[in-house]
Structure 1
Amino acid sequence: MDSTSALKFFGFTKQEAVVYTTLLRYGPQTGYEAAKNAGISRSNAYGALAGLCEKGAAMKASGDAKSYSAVPGKELIRNLRRQCDKTLDVLEKSLPDRQETEAPYLTVSGFENVVDKAQNVLDEAEHHIYVSLNSHEATLLHDALCRATARGLKTVIVSDTDPNVPECIYHFFPKDAGQFNIIADTSTVLTGSLDPELSSQCLYSKNTNLVRLMREAFVNELELIRQREEKSNE
């Protein structure tokens, strides 16, 4: 960035920036002289000089000659710095705080709708899946779980019966029917009930707090499983 570009950043026009540096380089000048030395038309030179005076970057001498002098560079820089500080102070005091919006909690109702949502969450996952569910729910979601492992996703399943999903990581743990939990990519959770005889309903969200809580609960469940396995092997 050269001096002309820097001055334009502070609101100077290109002609004003050129004429200002010309005044610094050649000293006090009339409009005619400034136009000649800057290589611009006389009308543009006079317009630039008027603009420089308004911006406090040039001063007009009294008398018949009507010559113009540049404000020293260091003085202009101090003035611009003060103006910037004032502007930043205004912004700091007047700009409203950004309102953070968390992802909502969405309720899905109806057996078929819950099954569809669970399958969609599994199908849309890109990295890893953690699932805790009863053998009944595992059967309903079996094909979607197989598709996940076929895509190479790390798939951890906690259930009361081996779901027979190739390449999954299976952990046995007693599970009551009617409640399932799915965490996909550590960004999406689906938790609820899935029973065709009762009112099936689930909660779907990408809310970071809920995802964190669900993940912690799943990690705790895996730790309980590990402890049970260690005791059974003693």
Structure 2
Amino acid sequence: MDQLLHHLNHLGFTEMESKIMVELARQGSASGYEVAKRLGVSRSNVYSTLQRLSQRGFLRCSAGEPAKYSVLKPEEMTRMISGQMRASLDYVQSSMPQHEPEKPVFYNIEGDKNVFDNLSRELADAKHEIVVDIWREEAELLQDHLKRAEDRGVRLLWSCDGGEGMLDQPAPWPGLPLYGNGSGRKFSIVVDRRWCMLGMRGESCATQAVVTEHPVMTGLLLNHFAQELVLYELEQDMGEELESRYGRRFGQLSARYWSVSAGGDQG
């Protein structure tokens, strides 16, 4: 009995409504006076509750004096409740104001699986362009994802260090050295000029990445990528002249502005 009342309360019926419906289900039908007497409560409370339940469609009221009330069969009652709840749920779902939860401006991802799962989802959703600056080891892991994106018409721009270029294209000139003690391979990916990942991976360091849609970071990565490709094109066109003036791979030129000491400090 208590368990039944509990579930009726959970479905939105008050304690008085629940007790009256259970009593009517037990007795079959009864007048308001009879229900009040059996429950030991005031007739005014019972009459108002009977009227409310009847208006909601859960009770049937017979003609005559005194009026007799009976509750719906359990299967009829539950079907009615289910329909009303379904209608309410559908209305809430369609009418509730929606606001996209704010993503953090920058967030970190750690671990090979987490990084590549996150990256593969973005590559699969790419619609216009993917810019990739990556090492050969990571390029092999992403090659299928990039090929599928290219096959569906996404523009693919890439730079691959540490070996020949993938997809039968030449590898651009590698970028300038980065500061820090980490011995991992740095990589960056920009998708549709709105989402980017900047990370590091290697045998001697944990795989980790920073993800953001901040336009400043996206712009910086795109500018860096463009500069690398411009320098690569210059090297292809003016290789001997550039090498004679600045050294192979622009080592002499870059050394004027960048140097990495054993401790990672700028020289």
Shift of 1:180: 0.5
Conserved 8 A contact 2:115-2:208: yes
Aligned residue in 2 for 1:121: 122
Shift of 1:196: 5.1
Letter of the 1:174 counterpart: P
TM-score (norm 2): 0.45
Aligned residue in 1 for 2:197: 190
Letter of the 2:134 counterpart: L
CA distance in 2, matches of 1:221, 1:102: 31
TM-score (norm 1): 0.51
State the percentage of identical aligned residues.
24
Distance 1:102 1:116, change over 3 A: closer
Aligned residue in 1 for 2:153: 152
Letter of the 2:201 counterpart: L
What SS class does the counterpart of residue 123 from structure 2 fall into? helix
CA distance in 2, matches of 1:188, 1:119: 13
Aligned residue in 2 for 1:218: 225
Conserved 8 A contact 1:129-1:155: yes
Number of aligned residue pairs: give it. Answer: 132
Shift of 1:163: 4.5
Distance 1:151 1:128, change over 3 A: same
Conserved 8 A contact 2:174-2:228: no
Distance 1:223 1:131, change over 3 A: same
Shift of 1:228: 1.2
CA distance in 2, matches of 1:140, 1:208: 27
Distance 1:120 1:230, change over 3 A: same
Letter of the 1:198 counterpart: C
Shift of 1:119: 1.6
Residues 178-200 of structure 1 show CA distances to partners (whole Å, capped at 9, x for unaligned) of 11110111111111012354211
Conserved 8 A contact 1:156-1:170: no
CA distance in 2, matches of 1:109, 1:102: 18
Shift of 1:224: 1.3
Distance 1:232 1:153, change over 3 A: same
Shift of 1:162: 3.8
Shift of 1:171: 4.0
Conserved 8 A contact 1:127-1:185: yes
Conserved 8 A contact 2:190-2:197: yes
What SS class does the counterpart of residue 201 from structure 1 fall into? strand
1:165 to 152, 164, 167: 167
Conserved 8 A contact 1:103-1:207: no
What SS class does the counterpart of residue 172 from structure 1 fall into? coil
CA distance in 1, matches of 2:145, 2:185: 19
Residues 194-222 of structure 1 show CA distances to partners (whole Å, capped at 9, x for unaligned) of 23542110011111111111111111111
Letter of the 1:129 counterpart: I
Letter of the 1:152 counterpart: G
Conserved 8 A contact 1:145-1:165: no
Identify unmatched segments of 5+ residues in structure 1: 1-100
2:119 equivalent to 1:112: no
CA distance in 2, matches of 1:107, 1:189: 12
What SS class does the counterpart of residue 149 from structure 2 fall into? helix
CA distance in 1, matches of 2:221, 2:104: 15
Conserved 8 A contact 1:193-1:201: yes
Identify unmatched segments of 5+ residues in structure 2: 1-101, 178-183, 242-267
CA distance in 2, matches of 1:163, 1:133: 10
Aligned residue in 1 for 2:144: 143
Distance 1:233 1:117, change over 3 A: farther
Residues 102-136 of structure 1 show CA distances to partners (whole Å, capped at 9, x for unaligned) of 96101111111112122222111100111011101
CA distance in 2, matches of 1:183, 1:124: 12
Letter of the 2:191 counterpart: A
CA distance in 2, matches of 1:125, 1:170: 24
Shift of 1:170: 5.1
What SS class does the counterpart of residue 210 from structure 1 fall into? helix
